[in-house]
Structure 1
Amino acid sequence: MRKILLLLFATVFSLGITYAQGNGGKLITGKLLDSQTKEPLIGATVTIKGTTKAVSVSLDGTFKIRVPEEGTTTLVFSYIGYISKTLDVADKNLGTITLDPTTSSVKEVVVNASSPIAVNRSTPIAASSVNQVYIEEKGAGAEFPELLKSTPGVMTSRTGGGYGDSRINIRGFSSNNVALLINGIPANDVEAGKLYWNDWAGLQDVTTFMQVQRGLSATDIAVPSLGGTINILTRNTEKDPGGTISQSVGSFNSFKTVLSYATGLNDKGWASSFLLSRTSGDGYAQGLYYTGYNYFANISKVWKNQTLSFNIMGAAQSHGQRYTFNTISTYRAAPDGTQYNSDFGIYNGKVYSAEQNFYNKPLASLNHNWTIDSKTSLSTILYGTYGYGAADYLSAAPGVSGTTPQGYVTLTPGSPTGVPRTGGTYSPIDFNSIIQTNVNNPDGSSTRIMQNVVNKHVQGGLISTFKKVFGDFHTLGGLDLRYYTGEHYNTVADLLGGDYITDARVNSATSPTGNINNPNAHVVTGQRFNNDYRYDVGSEGVYLQTEYIKNDLSAFVSLAGNYTNNRRTDYFNYTPGNQNSPWVNFWGYQAKGGVNYNIDAHSNVYVNGGYIQRSPLVAAIFLNKQNEVNANAKPEKLLDYEVGYGYQSGIFTAKVDAFRSTYRDRTVVRSTGAVDTDGTPIVVNISGLNEVHQGFEFEGKLRPVKDITFTGSLTIADYHYLTNTGPAQTTSSTGTTVTQSSLLLKGLKVGEFGSAPTSAQTTAALGVDVQVLPAVKIGANWNYYARYYATFDPTKLTSTGYTNYEVPNYSICDLNIVYRFKFAGLDASFVGNVYNLFNTEYLSDAYELNPPLTPAGQNFATRTNALGVWYGAPRMYMTTLKVKF
């Protein structure tokens, strides 16, 4: 009955719209798109100027409106977040009309050197997009990756809950195999390939468009990703003067203030804009406090056919963290329940985290765009970053027992080798007691300290792309040059009441510590100890791509190659003159292509495929914190292919695809979790990891009536290991290398190696947005996760019997409301967001430190109680008031 009533309502409503519009006059048709991304502006308004007669744009960007037969009629095209446009009606078919985002660049110049944005019904890849309106309405209290959580193939998590510590997986690939491009500039960590979102904690304040491309992607830079690419376009110079100010207030004392202003383009071709914001809060678990400052500035000069633009952006932040996985029984027993954090304490009467992070990584770029003629252009970006910060955590002084192999103090509640606490087992860490112990040491030394593990780097690059159109062929080629220097060292951040620590030299072959040039140094606050080394990484790449576009057919072929140069310099483990390793070089390349065919105005099909050989990352090239070269490090390979179908109409759009990616020759170097007789970690070198990532994806939109839009997605995938590994080589402290049998991973579900989170292999999402009144919009989003497997320690799988532990299925629901109004004659809006509306309790991450190999050990209750877990975030809210001036 409900379905019949809904159908009847939709029919009557549609007839009412048709009747209200009338049959008289001239029917005008057209399509309204974003000028930069060519995405349909769904729900935009087309109004006859001087009247209240209007229609809204459909899902495919098309619109129809009747105007008087006689006289001149002017149409007004408007959409939130875009500059309105007026157009005098001359023809019945207006063709394609574009609107500029309010933060679009002057003269419609896209700020990225190469254009990696996939175009619907043209670029033959799987891609999903998020625009500025979605970010404003859904993302005020979300971590940046969570804006993509309803996208097929995507899994996000806040991990321990620290500000900016969230992660994203695409098609089962972790972040070191997912590329992040900000205005075409690569932003992944050079050494391990990871995405550290706290480096870009304020990114959503300046993002105008974000697109995730799954699989091969349309990116033409020389160093590729394997699982997917996230392309972000930020604001650039705005055409008109004006600004915004907004204030957000939310759960757990969350506050955020944003101020932006643009001068507009003057008659001499100059324009500038800036944005500043401050974010702070306590976090949803104690000790997760944070403060962040986001900044952005742009200065541009425009000539007749050239634009020169300087941009700088970044986020200076500091936040408390939570790294310790605790068991479910621990959370049940702790007074704070699922929000329990074992990693914070009280220091001089104030909440103080035993694990903190601070970082600032400004990204500056000089962008030159030159339209040589109607068929030729050259775009170049010269960019650079300077990053400085550290992980600041409680640790034992060198040689002191009671730590993990990495030097962390054991923070598991109730551990006999753990830390003193202010009360019972689940109370905060007692930093004052630690200070008193240090003060009482007869020799004045500290046994426990706060240490900074510093990462300081300088990176520069140049990306230059030349484009030329030859008839139906669009060809581009370019250079991708990069150089990176990263310094890593430990310093004493706080001696916690003592006067010094002794950095005794330990000559372990697996993980030497201390300074060979000063073997018993007394180290004080700010000085370096334990290790001090540097990586230099260079990359020289070229790329060439040809795209054929004619009528309903588009196809592309892309080739790229790069040569990487890697060197390690160690100041503590080698004497002067012997501190540089030799340069270690690798070739990498990629070849990919695809074809899209538009069957008719509604349907299209596509296919793509490619092969990638990627140079190993520098973190896998050098072993055991020394300049020793890993003989088993070799290029990783990916074979990927995909087929897809799309349907598009004014009411319903859908995309479906099937994919298969085979990932071979992965190398991992990691601690085994065990220590040798001298207390140093035992390191294992694992080679020959082979995986397959395959599945089916769907996403769609339905707009049965003008003011209601439904969205949905579904992923059913299979990510598993194809084979057992190659030999696993373990090096002891005496320098002896022991080759273990292969690790027996074949058939097991893929997770990021060790304790890092994995991906749910079945995900679904549903969303609805309802324009209940002209100024009021309500939205809801539901996400479901199933076939989600805990990560495990693979170094212990030297015999058969292990099966993956499946985390319980869960779903969460978010709600938002938007109210737009006038305030003192200015455009204003109020946005309210509630996340995890029903306060669902769920495991967002789980780790099996001791994977059981026997049926008895795999008893569900036994395994569950042994898991280390993090619970997902509880119900939270955020309210935002924004005024444009």
Structure 2
Amino acid sequence: MKLRISLAMLAFLPFLAMAQLSIKGRVIDAQTGTSLQGAHLNLNNRLVKVTTDETGMFEITGLKAGNYKMKVSYLGYKAWESLFELDANKTMLISMEQAAILTDETIISSTRANNKTPVAFQNLSGKEISKQDQGRDIPFLLEQMPATVVTSDAGAGVGYTGFRIRGTDMNRINITVNGIPLNDAESHGLFWVNMPDFASSVGSLQVQRGVGTSTNGAAAFGASVNLQTATPSPEAYGSITNSAGSFNTFRHSVTAGTGLIGGKWAMDARLSKLSSDGFIDRATSDLKSFYVSGGYYGNTTIAKINIFSGKEVTYQAWDGIPSNILETNRTYNGIGEYTDYQGNTRFYDNETDNYQQDHYQFLLSQRLSGHLTANAAIHYTKGFG
């Protein structure tokens, strides 16, 4: 009996194999042959949707024999479509032609170094950022980079955080978002606590060590950090993120986008809430933020508005720990400490920073000719608390 069942299963295996077909391939630029990471593939009107990896490769498995329509889209390129019959495993090389359209990359081109620039630099793509983004502040995206030291006052990676590059603090590092200065205009300081979960809205970043290509002032002899917000997706999307970590650290985030409407209009939005008790005593953080971006993407013109804001209620924990108690009480926080009338040591429960910072950006990019593009930006930052 067992032998008969085994023989029946073996006889049926070829039919199972025939029913499970696959399509794999690579998406490249038709002119340069370079791989296109993040291209969107749509099979049979959204029946199957995949995205190419960092080498431009994709694979779709578990398909049945039949007729299929594939559509490939990538911002800045003409849509690619093909009708074909699938009766065996298929390998494809898809070449996409550039469209006469500007992309967000032109907005930040003046502050980005390349292989021909005599600058020590390192890039992080959107996919690499997504892998590292755990709700912590921007400095923790840089902690694996050379000559970079990252700090967190509370010890949880949210709240007051910072970094040094080649020993230089952020007062001597130029930081831009879409080419717009992020440093304070007066002190040149920067507080990432005012931008919680901003990494979720960053599409790429570049760190230039030493003197770089930054255009906003002379203080960039330490380093330059150039952030670019996420570019619009060709298709509508939405996601909800909930994560938890040590020291009662929680992140809740909602992200959505319209995709390219009519091939020219797009809007993206994010709403986030983070909270943490922190590793250090009384180093709690209660953080909220939002990001909204809307723009027109024409053949020769980009007009884009970005609005992002962060609100913080953060207990102060920046004094550090005295060396004489470091071995016995590593979580000690002396801020808010006082002695009552009975001689008992107590702590105030309201030693908090209560602050909100709003950022408004208007970006305009106009292609004047095949080799000349003009960029302009207006920005406004308001802080209160």
TM-score by length of 2: 0.71
Q: Deviation digits for residues 626-675 of structure 1, max 9, x if unmatched?
A: xxxxxxxxxxxxxxxxxxxxxxxxxxxxxxxxxxxxxxxxxxxxxxxxxx
Residues 300 and 275 from structure 1, CA distance in 2 versus in 1: closer, same or farther, beyond 3 angstroms? Answer: same
Residue from 140, 143, 152 that aligns with 2:146: 152
- Counting only pairs closer than 5 Å after superposition, residues 543-558 of structure 1 correspond to structure 2 as none
Matched, 1:306 2:309: no
CA distance in 1, matches of 2:96, 2:112: 19
State whether residues 44 and 77 of structure 1, in contact with CA within 8 Å, keep that contact through their aligned partners in structure 2. Answer: no
Specify the code of the residue in structure 2 equivalent to 1:31. T
Please state how far the C-alpha of 1:180 moved relative to its aligned partner: 0.5
Please state how far the C-alpha of 1:278 moved relative to its aligned partner: 0.8
Specify the code of the residue in structure 2 equivalent to 1:123. T
Matched, 1:296 2:288: no
Please state how far the C-alpha of 1:160 moved relative to its aligned partner: 5.2
CA distance in 2, matches of 1:193, 1:274: 28
Q: Deviation digits for residues 561-602 of structure 1, max 9, x if unmatched?
A: xxxxxxxxxxxxxxxxxxxxxxxxxxxxxxxxxxxxxxxxxx
CA distance in 1, matches of 2:323, 2:73: 52
State whether residues 199 and 360 of structure 1, in contact with CA within 8 Å, keep that contact through their aligned partners in structure 2. Answer: yes
More contact order relative to length (CA 8 Å, sep ≥ 6): 2
Q: Report SS of the residue matched to 1:361.
A: strand
State whether residues 27 and 95 of structure 2, in contact with CA within 8 Å, keep that contact through their aligned partners in structure 1. Answer: no
CA distance in 2, matches of 1:268, 1:206: 22
Match of 1:32 in 2: 35
Matched, 1:342 2:334: yes
Please state how far the C-alpha of 1:328 moved relative to its aligned partner: 3.3
- Counting only pairs closer than 5 Å after superposition, residues 488-637 of structure 1 correspond to structure 2 as none
Residues 287 and 275 from structure 1, CA distance in 2 versus in 1: closer, same or farther, beyond 3 angstroms? Answer: same
CA distance in 2, matches of 1:295, 1:28: 34
Q: Report SS of the residue matched to 1:233.
A: strand
State whether residues 365 and 383 of structure 1, in contact with CA within 8 Å, keep that contact through their aligned partners in structure 2. Answer: yes
- Counting only pairs closer than 5 Å after superposition, residues 420-459 of structure 1 correspond to structure 2 as none
Q: Report SS of the residue matched to 2:334.
A: coil
Q: Deviation digits for residues 674-703 of structure 1, max 9, x if unmatched?
A: xxxxxxxxxxxxxxxxxxxxxxxxxxxxxx
Match of 2:366 in 1: 370
Please state how far the C-alpha of 1:28 moved relative to its aligned partner: 11
Please state how far the C-alpha of 1:150 moved relative to its aligned partner: 1.2
State whether residues 80 and 96 of structure 2, in contact with CA within 8 Å, keep that contact through their aligned partners in structure 1. Answer: no
State whether residues 27 and 96 of structure 2, in contact with CA within 8 Å, keep that contact through their aligned partners in structure 1. Answer: no
Match of 2:199 in 1: 204
Please state how far the C-alpha of 1:223 moved relative to its aligned partner: 4.3
Matched, 1:321 2:316: yes
Specify the code of the residue in structure 1 equivalent to 2:352. Q
State whether residues 345 and 353 of structure 1, in contact with CA within 8 Å, keep that contact through their aligned partners in structure 2. Answer: no
Match of 1:251 in 2: 246
Q: CA RMSD in A?
A: 4.0
Q: Report SS of the residue matched to 2:105.
A: coil
CA distance in 1, matches of 2:267, 2:292: 7
Please state how far the C-alpha of 1:369 moved relative to its aligned partner: 1.4
Please state how far the C-alpha of 1:96 moved relative to its aligned partner: 8.6
Matched, 1:386 2:382: yes
Q: Deviation digits for residues 426-461 of structure 1, max 9, x if unmatched?
A: xxxxxxxxxxxxxxxxxxxxxxxxxxxxxxxxxxxx
Matched, 1:45 2:57: yes
State whether residues 125 and 213 of structure 1, in contact with CA within 8 Å, keep that contact through their aligned partners in structure 2. Answer: yes
State whether residues 285 and 313 of structure 2, in contact with CA within 8 Å, keep that contact through their aligned partners in structure 1. Answer: yes
State whether residues 154 and 280 of structure 2, in contact with CA within 8 Å, keep that contact through their aligned partners in structure 1. Answer: no
Residues 228 and 281 from structure 1, CA distance in 2 versus in 1: closer, same or farther, beyond 3 angstroms? Answer: same
Please state how far the C-alpha of 1:268 moved relative to its aligned partner: 8.4
Specify the code of the residue in structure 1 equivalent to 2:331. Q
State whether residues 159 and 285 of structure 2, in contact with CA within 8 Å, keep that contact through their aligned partners in structure 1. Answer: no
CA distance in 2, matches of 1:224, 1:51: 57
Matched, 1:234 2:229: yes
CA distance in 2, matches of 1:284, 1:169: 21
Match of 2:4 in 1: none
- Counting only pairs closer than 5 Å after superposition, residues 460-471 of structure 1 correspond to structure 2 as none
Match of 2:188 in 1: 193
Q: Deviation digits for residues 167-210 of structure 1, max 9, x if unmatched?
A: 21111212111111111111112222222111222311211111
Specify the code of the residue in structure 1 equivalent to 2:374. L
Please state how far the C-alpha of 1:127 moved relative to its aligned partner: 0.9
Specify the code of the residue in structure 2 equivalent to 1:382. I
CA distance in 2, matches of 1:262, 1:98: 25
CA distance in 2, matches of 1:242, 1:76: 17
Matched, 1:109 2:101: no
CA distance in 1, matches of 2:330, 2:355: 28
State whether residues 112 and 381 of structure 1, in contact with CA within 8 Å, keep that contact through their aligned partners in structure 2. Answer: no
Residues 111 and 246 from structure 1, CA distance in 2 versus in 1: closer, same or farther, beyond 3 angstroms? Answer: farther
- Counting only pairs closer than 5 Å after superposition, residues 818-857 of structure 1 correspond to structure 2 as none
Specify the code of the residue in structure 2 equivalent to 1:32. S
- Counting only pairs closer than 5 Å after superposition, residues 352-367 of structure 1 correspond to structure 2 as 353=349, 355-367=351-363
Please state how far the C-alpha of 1:77 moved relative to its aligned partner: 8.2
CA distance in 2, matches of 1:282, 1:256: 13
Please state how far the C-alpha of 1:47 moved relative to its aligned partner: 4.3
Q: Report SS of the residue matched to 2:139.
A: helix
Match of 1:332 in 2: 327
Number of residue pairs matched? 322
Matched, 1:128 2:122: yes
CA distance in 2, matches of 1:112, 1:352: 47
Residues 41 and 110 from structure 1, CA distance in 2 versus in 1: closer, same or farther, beyond 3 angstroms? Answer: same
Specify the code of the residue in structure 2 equivalent to 1:172. G
Residue from 220, 225, 231 that aligns with 1:225: 220
Please state how far the C-alpha of 1:212 moved relative to its aligned partner: 0.5
- Counting only pairs closer than 5 Å after superposition, residues 264-283 of structure 1 correspond to structure 2 as 264-267=259-262, 269-283=264-278
State whether residues 260 and 275 of structure 1, in contact with CA within 8 Å, keep that contact through their aligned partners in structure 2. Answer: yes
CA distance in 2, matches of 1:357, 1:206: 25
CA distance in 1, matches of 2:72, 2:319: 53
Q: Report SS of the residue matched to 1:325.
A: coil
Identity fraction in percent: 22
Residues 281 and 164 from structure 1, CA distance in 2 versus in 1: closer, same or farther, beyond 3 angstroms? Answer: closer
**Where do 5+ consecutive residues of structure 2 fail to align?**
1-25, 39-51, 83-92, 339-345
CA distance in 1, matches of 2:324, 2:231: 51
CA distance in 2, matches of 1:152, 1:202: 24
Q: Report SS of the residue matched to 1:191.
A: coil
Please state how far the C-alpha of 1:387 moved relative to its aligned partner: 1.1
Residues 75 and 150 from structure 1, CA distance in 2 versus in 1: closer, same or farther, beyond 3 angstroms? Answer: farther
State whether residues 290 and 318 of structure 1, in contact with CA within 8 Å, keep that contact through their aligned partners in structure 2. Answer: yes
CA distance in 2, matches of 1:326, 1:375: 56
State whether residues 104 and 231 of structure 2, in contact with CA within 8 Å, keep that contact through their aligned partners in structure 1. Answer: no
Specify the code of the residue in structure 2 equivalent to 1:45. M
CA distance in 2, matches of 1:28, 1:290: 44
Q: Deviation digits for residues 78-131 of structure 1, max 9, x if unmatched?
A: 99xxx9x8677xxxxx899799xxxxxx95333736532223x33332111222
State whether residues 147 and 166 of structure 2, in contact with CA within 8 Å, keep that contact through their aligned partners in structure 1. Answer: yes
Q: Report SS of the residue matched to 1:188.
A: coil
Please state how far the C-alpha of 1:332 moved relative to its aligned partner: 3.4
Residues 96 and 132 from structure 1, CA distance in 2 versus in 1: closer, same or farther, beyond 3 angstroms? Answer: same
Match of 2:170 in 1: 175
Specify the code of the residue in structure 1 equivalent to 2:35. L
Structure number with greater Rg is 1
Residues 96 and 220 from structure 1, CA distance in 2 versus in 1: closer, same or farther, beyond 3 angstroms? Answer: farther
Return the structure number with greater helix share: 2
Specify the code of the residue in structure 2 equivalent to 1:341. N
Q: Report SS of the residue matched to 2:253.
A: strand
Specify the code of the residue in structure 2 equivalent to 1:109. D
Q: Report SS of the residue matched to 2:325.
A: helix
Matched, 1:140 2:134: yes
State whether residues 177 and 227 of structure 1, in contact with CA within 8 Å, keep that contact through their aligned partners in structure 2. Answer: yes
Q: Report SS of the residue matched to 2:35.
A: strand
**Where do 5+ consecutive residues of structure 1 fail to align?**
1-26, 53-73, 89-93, 100-105, 390-885
